[in-house]
Amino acid sequence: MTSTGSDTSATTPTAPGAPPTRPPDPGPIVPAGGIAGLISLVRLVGARLRGGELGSLPVVLGLIVIWTVFQTQNSHFLTANNLTNLALQLAATGTIAVGVFLVLLLGEIDLSVGWVSGLAASVMAVLSVRHGWNPVLAIVAALVLGLVIGAVQGGIFAIVGVPSFVVTLAGFIAWQGVQLKVLGSDGSINLPDGTITKLTSTFFTDATGWGLAAVAIASYVGAQLAEVRARRAAGLRPRPLLEVAGRSAVVAAAGFVAVGVMNADRGVPLVLVIFLALVIIVDLVTRRTAYGRHVFALGGNIEATRRAGVNVAFIRISVFALASGLAAAGGVLAASRLTGVTQSTGGSDTLLNAIAAAVIGGTSLFGGRGRAWSALLGILVIQSISNGMDLLGLDQSIKFIITGSVLLASVTLDALARRGRRSSGRG
């Protein structure tokens, strides 16, 4: 179940000095309303699906199936209490998955993010508990450490030329050792109640939750309409207004239902707002800025991007730095939720779940295609499986088998969709 980046695709910049090209013919504009508009929209969606542009449809359908199965097996699965717990569980690994998404856009991989998250959390705990640092400064130090680690690894890859797989595999081993050294003989540190633990134990009031949902939905609708106007101004065919209305309705329904469910329990958790804010920021950066277009271009065609005058080394280094910085943020959130760090923090299945979340959510392993929202959708799938299995009391081995099967299905669907795009002339 994977989406293959129907909303954003790799682009190749125009080389310096090249003659300006005319914008493509926008073609017929799909009517905005009426039966004719609806028929045209259905045909357009059908053409996209036949061309391998699957969007988020497979993930959404997969989630419906997963939630239906677990709810029929255990009526507690879709209760307000359990869904709020699910939101708390997915934020830390989901934040790491956002960083993995950025690396995958380049067509590369980062195997060190799990232990980078653990090391950053350990440094934060040592500075805050053992050395008496202000918790906020300790968190900042952990984030800076993540950025530095990513920049170093990215520099070795981009400048020296060592493959990213090898560089980050070395980091996977080395940062685990550094974490053991930082924690010392005690091997664990408990975090007292305070600023750090409040990141995952703070819940907003009902009114604040509704207000946040309203602002988020209004911003989404405004962004969709702004994109329509921008594409028309550029002579490009915009999305049909019926499609924009449909997307907005789905997002609004999902947002208000989610807030309603969480308000029925403890309220909207702060950690979920932090996670969603990071997803939105990364999505805006990758889709609305020149830097983001360069990242997509680099993942689509390295040589063409280099000839267009893009600083390839800088893009690569910065992406790896951001990925490790987000991994550090995920480590902070994980430590906050567990109220402490141990020698296994950042280990176990943290790395595999982060990579699987990005891929299952729709980021292509081939580079150049995906959305930051894939991290949210993917981690929602993985945590739903994990949470449901825990409720059913199933063995851990079954959880790994099912998660691995879902990942394989996602990559297979991505490959088939990629073949469909090639056959339809869409790359």
> pLDDT by residue (tens digit) across 279-329?
999 999 998 899 999 999 999 888 899 999 999 999 999 999 999 999 999
Burial tier of 360 (Cβ tally within 10 Å: 0-12, 13-18, 19+)? buried
Q: What is the CATH number of domain 57-201+287-423?
A: 1.10.3470
Helix, strand, or coil (residue 342) = strand
Give the DSSP H/E element, type plus range, for residue 190.
strand 188-190
Q: What is the pLDDT of residue 7?
A: 44
Close Cβ partners of 309 (under 8 Å, ≥ 6 residues apart): 13, 15, 16
Sequence-distant (≥ 6) Cβ neighbours of residue 30 within 8 angstroms? 37, 40, 41, 44, 240, 242
> Whole-angstrom Cα distance, residue 387 to residue 360?
17
Structure tokens at 119: 């090391």
Confidence of residue 29 (pLDDT cuts 50, 70, 90): very low
The torsion angles phi and psi of 189, rounded to 5 degrees, stand at -140, 130
| Lowest mean per-residue pLDDT among 65-79, 283-297, 318-332, 384-398 | 384-398
Q: Which among 2, 11, 107, 1 has a CA at the least distance from the CA of 365?
A: 107
Which distant-in-sequence residues (6+ apart) come within 8 Å of 317 by Cβ? Answer: 151, 154, 155, 158, 159
Contact 102, 282 (CB under 8 A): yes
DSSP letters of 227-243? HHHHHHHTT-PPPPHHH
Instruction: Read off φ and ψ for residue 223, nearest 5 degrees.
Output: -65, -40
* pLDDT: which is higher, 360 or 110: 110
Q: How far is CA 406 from the centre of its chain?
A: 17
For the entire predicted model, the pTM comes to 0.84
Mean pLDDT of the 41-46 span: 53
Domain limits, the chain: 57-201+287-423, 203-268
Which of 367, 348, 287, 277 minimizes the C-alpha distance to 94? 277
Give 6-15 pLDDT, tens digit per residue: 444 444 454 5
- Per cent of the chain over pLDDT 70 is 84
Percent of the chain with pLDDT over 90: 56
